[in-house]
Each structure stands twice: as C-alpha cells, then as structure tokens.
Amino acid sequence: MFDQQPLANAVRARKLLTIVGLLAGGFVALAQTPPAPQWESTANIGFSLTHGTSKTVLANVGLQTAKKWPKDELAISANLAYGENNGNRNVDNFQATLQYNHIFKDPFYGGLRVGGVHDEIANLDYRLTISPLAGVYIIKKPNTRLSVELGPSGVFEKLGGVEKTYGGLRLGERLEHKFNDRARMWQSFDFTPQVDRFSKYLFNAELGVDAAITKQISLRTVLQDTYDSIPAPGRKENDIRLITGLAVKF
C-alpha cells in the first residue's frame, strides 16, 4: 500500500516555508516604512540681573513646537518677557502663534495663521489676528527653506482702552537655513495694513541664530522688531528687543 507520510511531510514543509516567507516579507516592509512624524520642540530661556548703581532684571521664556507630515505642517510658538529697571516695569508682554499649512501641490500650500499679543507697556490689552493664507515655497531644500504668504486678516484688538475690529491684508515671509548640524539661522517678517486705511499697519520682523553646545542645548540670539504705525496715546511706534539665552531641544 502506498505510504502517504512523505507526501504529508512535504505539504507541511511547503506551508511552513510559505508562512516564514510571509513573515519575512512583513518584517522587510516594516523596516522600509518611513518613521512616523515626530514633534520637534524647543524651550528657550534668557535671564539677566544687575544690582548696584542700577537695578535691572530681564527674563524671557519661550516654547516652539512643530510637526510635519507628508502633506501637512503645524507650528506653535509662545513667548513671555518681563523686565524692570530700578523698580519700574519696562517689559511685560506675551505672544503666541499657531500656523497650519496644507500642501496642495508642492511648492504651493494653503493654511491658517492665528496670533495673539498682550503688551502691558504698549497699553495693548489684546490683539488677536486670524489670517487665512496662500503660500509658496520659493526654496525647499533639506538645509534651506524660503516661503512667501499672502492672505486676508481679521484683527481684533483693545489698544489704549479702545476696542476695535478691522480687516487687513497680510504679507508674510520666512527664511530658514542650516549651515550644518550645529548652526542655523532664520529670518521672518509680517506686514499687515488695514485694508481701508493703509496708514494704519502692523509690522513684525525677527532675525535669529542658534549655535549648538550639545545635542540638546544651544546658545540662541534673537532680534525682534515690532512696529505699530498708530500706537496707543503716549506710546512709541517701534519696539526693538534683543534676546540671548539657552535653548533646550526635547
């Protein structure tokens, strides 16, 4: 009588090889799958104190976090500054920004930018700016990115005790460049004139450099300029800040 055992063993071996092949293929596919996007976050702090002929204190704390997907980008930042000179408060402001971009067809994208500001010294109780935008990456390389954005804005503010709402037209630009793994710079500006009164406009600019000390800690210097063409009564139009301190990546 014919012995079917060798045939049964051959069938089992073939099934086993098929299962092993499928598992191996799955592991290879997982190994080739790009890693999921991660949040890139940085906290920065700057502090200075003098005591003698003059007594001054200045503190600045900030947080930036961003995440990039294949077709979407999200960036959030917040900054708090406080200072005194001989007991008189001369710096007291808070700023926060959120921006979401969706890339429709590279290099073109659309998105939404929301910004909030409180500045006690400028007599600005609040300013909320909501800006839908259309943008384009003029340069989009691993080490260099240059983008330009344009869109309408809705501005809601309480300045000098007076509440006001108006429409604006926002023009924005941002440049980022990495010299190497240890040094980078960035530059940006926003120009938002009131649509029915171009003599009323807001201008914000920033220039920053970051040099790594370790993989997680770097030395950062940032120059900021805020200009309000029609400030609160008794206040100046221009406000320039130079901030130096340490930044920590996490």
Closest CA to 44 of 55, 31, 60: 60
Whether the CB-CB separation of 66 and 92 falls below 8 Å is answered with no
C-beta atoms surrounding 46 within 10 Å: 19
pLDDT at residue number 36: 75
**What are the boundaries of each domain within the chain?**
1-33, 37-249
The count of C-alpha atoms lying within 13 angstroms of the C-alpha of 71, restricted to the half-sphere facing its C-beta, is: 2
User: Would you state the pLDDT for residue 50?
Assistant: 81
**pLDDT for residue 51 is more than 70:** yes
* Top-level class of domain 37-249: mainly beta
Q: What percent helix, strand, coil does the chain show, rounded to 5?
A: 10, 70, 20
> Is the pLDDT reported for residue 32 higher than 60?
no
Query: Tens of pLDDT along 142-187?
Result: 999 999 999 999 999 999 999 999 999 999 999 999 999 999 999 9
